[in-house]
Amino acid sequence: MGIKIVLRKRANADGTRPLILQVIKDKQRSTIALGYSLKATEWDMKKQEVKSSYPNSVRLNKLILKKKLEAIGGALDLEADQGEVSSTAIIKKLKRKDGSDFIIQAERYLDRLKQAGKYNQYTADKPRVAHFKEFLNGRSMRFADITPAVLEEFKIHLANREMPLSERSIVNHLVVVRSVFSQAIKDGFTDKRFYPFGADKIRIKFPESNKIGLTVEEVKRLEAVELPAGSFQWHACNLWLFSFYTAGMRASDVLRLKWSDIQSGRLHYVMGKNAKGGSVKLNAKAAAIVEQYRTDKTSPTDFVFPDLKVLDDLTDKFIIQRRIAFTVSRIDKFLQTYVVPTAKIEKQVTMHIARHTFGNISGDKIPLQMLQKLYRHTSITTTIGYQSNFIMYPICRTDNVFN
């Protein structure tokens, strides 16, 4: 009998390959996914371990060793009980040990988010998993036991907590449960027949919400506001206006911009959210903001804005997203505390509102097909749905705002 850890030959869409435990007995081969994917250059095939170049390699190697020992132990138990053991039986025993437990799979789901550098999603989904643990109150829960009725009870629990959650937040909790379920089905830890979501089961539908952006007049007030040059509130206002001028570019993409992304008067960049590439014209006002950050030492590989320059390691996606999250939080605080009162605006102003403001003002002034390209939506249906959320104000298109 042979027990090995190998990389699956078939690669994922991103070029990584799943890490699997392989059991070979009497020429019969059975496998189980370990829930991690690596680049071929990050795996030492001879030693069957992750190379030190992989983030958290020590931790992952400990997990690999643990899984191998569990497989060996499972084989010995089966051989002692039955006298004969197959590779399939060993894999089934491993799956039964932890694969059918929802919380174990949920922890694996969170760990994958962390390994993938998805800081925002990780920090949002971690308390949602904790709330499901709270709901279970120490009980274990197999996937087969998570029925639509159980999820309805979970929804009631969230709505009746000491600190009740909103309808939108409750839906977000169900999305996490669905994501963990999908992961477990894909990895072979549960069967799709137990999937509790669908038309005749639990339907996930986000409540409608109006997204209020600023009016043209309010944007003009931000343009005209006087703030101490070089101060963080001045910088925060610049970032907000730059996002608005570039069709509501997301704050994370603004902070990641490099001088090499600006070519021939256009901004070329890949969106961090969906990895879609494209470009947008850098209008005169956006270009003027950018020039305020150019120095004699500026090089094409430098960030346009200084917020991420403090990072020493730009290869760790998790650390980068964490830094972006802290920075955006600080920007939003300075916008609301210093910029909004000075500009005499009575609405909430955050970096995300810049995107809503563009959607709010563009309205019926820009064709949907153009908006789809600006937002980089895959489907125009998404664009229609996105635009329908906005509260429209009577506005006039002027060269002062769109140029």
Same domain, 104 and 93: no
Query: Has residue 345 been placed in a domain?
Result: yes
Domain end (from 47, 77, 98): 98
Residues 342, 284 share a domain: yes
Whether the pTM exceeds 0.75: the reply is no
Are 64 and 50 in contact, with CB atoms under 8 Å apart?
yes
- Note whether residue 397 is domain-resident: no
Q: How many domains does the chain have?
A: 3
Are 177 and 32 in the same domain? no
Strand pairing class (17-25; 266-270): unpaired
Tell me the per-residue pLDDT of 214-259, one tens digit each, with 9 for 90 and over: 998 999 999 999 999 999 999 999 999 999 998 888 899 999 999 9
Domain assignment of residue 394, yes or no: no
| Residues 360-365, mean pLDDT to the nearest whole number | 67
- The whole domain housing 70 covers 1-98
Domain boundary residue among 54, 79, 98? 98
pLDDT at 212: 77
Banded pLDDT at 390 (limits 50, 70, 90): very low
Q: Does 293 reside within a domain?
A: yes
Label residue 358 exposed, middle or buried (CB < 10 Å: 0-12, 13-18, 19+).
Answer: buried
Distance CA 11, CA 16 (A): 6
| Structure confidence by residue, pLDDT tens digits, 150-172 | 999 999 999 999 899 999 999 99
Task: Assess if residue 395 is contained within a domain.
Answer: no
Are 91 and 113 found together in one domain? no
Domain co-membership, 144 together with 19: no
Q: In this structure, are 69 and 118 located in the same domain?
A: no
Write down which residue in 98, 116, 137 finishes a domain. Answer: 98
- The CATH number assigned to the domain holding 256 equals 1.10.443.10
Q: Domain for residue 398, yes or no?
A: no
Closest CA to 169 of 128, 129, 201, 134: 128
